[in-house]
Amino acid sequence: MILYILKGKDHSSLKEKLKSSSASFKFLNLYGKELALAWPDSAVEGITDESVELVVKTKKSYILAGNEWKKDPTVVKVKDVEIGSKRVVVAAGPCAVESMEQTETVAKAVKRAGASLLRGGAYKPRTSPYSFQGLGEEGLKILRKAGDETGLPVVSEILDARDAGAFAKYADMVQIGARNSQNFTLLRDVGKLGKPVLLKRGLGNTVEELIQSAEYVMMEGNGNVVLCERGIRTFEKSTRFTLDIGGMVAGKLMTHLPFCADPSHPAGKRELVHSLALASVAAGADMLLVEVHPRPEVALSDSEQQLTPESFELLMERVKALASVLGRSA
Ligand code: PEP
Ligand code: MN
C-alpha cells in the first residue's frame, strides 16, 4: 500500500486519477492530517498529484499504525486522561459489572488508590455459554454512573457492533477483547464509532497481527488506538497465559501507538499480578489494566485473579515508586 500525505483542501484531481486506475483507495483524516491510502502498489505505480506533499511506501503489512510516516509517539486521550505520555495510566475495576453497589465500591477504592480510568465488563466473552454473561446495557449504565460519581472515565468491552449505540452513549473508551482481536468487521465498526479504542492481542496472534488489527480501526479515521498485551497461549501452564513482555517491547518499536499491559489475565491468580504489572511498567508499558473486586472470592468471573482493593492500593504505591525511578509518574 501507498500513503499519500496531502496538502491543501482540494484533492479531487488525485481522486480522479485513483478512480481511473485499478487501485483500491481511501481518503481519510488522521491526527489532523489529510491522507490517501492506495493499494496494491502495482496499481498505484507512478500516480502522483500536485496535492501530494509526501508519498510513503512500506514493505510492511501495515502503514497507518507504522512509524514510517509518523515518528512521534501517539498520545491517546480518553476525556482528560493521556495515554502514551510520561505518566503510566492505570485502568482498574472489576472483571464484570455485577451490581451498582459492587461497581460503586470498587470505583471509589480504585480512585482513592490513584487509578485514572474505571474498567468493567458489561458484555462478557465467556468460554462457556453457561457462565455469567454480564449485565449487558444495564451494566454499561452502572459503569457510567460509577464513573461519573468518581470522575473516572470508563472503558468496557464491546462484543457486537449492534451494541454500538449503547457504547456511544455510555463508554469513554471501547475495548476489543482478545477473542475479537481479528473480528475485522467489528474492528471497522468500532473505528467508525470514533471513541478511543483499547485493542487486545488475540490469544494466538503475533504482535504484527495485532498491529494489523489496529490498522483496520485506523482506516476508518480513528487514530486513538491503544494496543494491549494480555498474554498469549503457549505450552507453559504455570500461568494462565504467557505475558509476552518481549513482544510488547518489540511492538513499541514497530508502531507509534501506545501499549497497555494487562497483568491480570495472564496471571490467572492474584499472587502473580503485582510482579507482572511491575515488570510491564519496567519494560515501558504506557498503561496498565488491572482487575479489582471488592470481594474477589465471590466474583462472578475471574475470581482467582482479581485483586482486593487493599492489594490494589499497595500495587499503586509500587507502580508509583517504580515509575519515579524510571523518570515517569503514575
Ligand atoms: C477483559 O479484560 O475483561 C477480558 C475479557 O480480557 P481478554 O479479552 O484479554 O480475555
Ligand atoms: Mn476478566
* 81-83/76-78 β-pairing: antiparallel
Cα three-residue angle 187-84-281, rounded to 5 degrees? 105
What are the φ and ψ backbone dihedral angles of 276, each rounded to 5 degrees?
A: -65, -35
* pLDDT, average across residues 190-213: 98
* pLDDT, average across residues 229-243: 98
* pLDDT, average across residues 227-237: 98
* pLDDT, average across residues 40-58: 95
* Atom of ligand 1 lying closest to residue 289 CA: 2
Mean of all residue pLDDT scores within the chain: 98
| Residue 216 binned pLDDT confidence (cut-offs 50, 70, 90) | very high
**C-beta separation of 167 from 174 below 8 A:** yes
Indicate the angle between helix axes 245-254 and 207-218, nearest 10 degrees: 50
Distance 205 CA to ligand 1 centre (A): 15
| Residue 211 binned pLDDT confidence (cut-offs 50, 70, 90) | very high
Nearest Cα to Cα of residue 281 among 317, 240, 310, 238:
317
Q: Whose CA is nearest to atom 10 of ligand 1?
A: 178
- Quote the cell numbers at residue 303: 475470581
Close Cβ partners of 238 (under 8 Å, ≥ 6 residues apart): none
Q: What gap in Å lies between CA 195 and CA 216, rounded to an integer?
A: 14
| Residue 294 binned pLDDT confidence (cut-offs 50, 70, 90) | very high
Distance 298 CA to ligand 2 centre (A): 14
* Atom of ligand 1 lying closest to residue 178 CA: 8
**pLDDT tens-digit map of 136-163:** 999 999 999 999 999 999 999 999 999 9
At the topology level of CATH, where does 76-325 sit? Answer: TIM Barrel (3.20.20)
Distance 68 CA to ligand 1 centre (A): 31
* pLDDT, average across residues 87-101: 98
Rounded to two decimals, the pTM is: 0.98
Mutation test residue for ligand 1: of 230, 243, 248, 303, the one with most atoms within 8 Å of CB:
230
| Residue 182 binned pLDDT confidence (cut-offs 50, 70, 90) | very high
**C-beta separation of 95 from 293 below 8 A:** yes
Q: What gap in Å lies between CA 77 and CA 146, rounded to an integer?
A: 20
| Residue 37 binned pLDDT confidence (cut-offs 50, 70, 90) | very high
* 2-6/52-57 β-pairing: antiparallel
Give the pLDDT of residue 218: 98
**pLDDT tens-digit map of 241-261:** 999 999 999 999 999 999 999
Please report the ipTM that was assigned to this predicted complex: 0.99
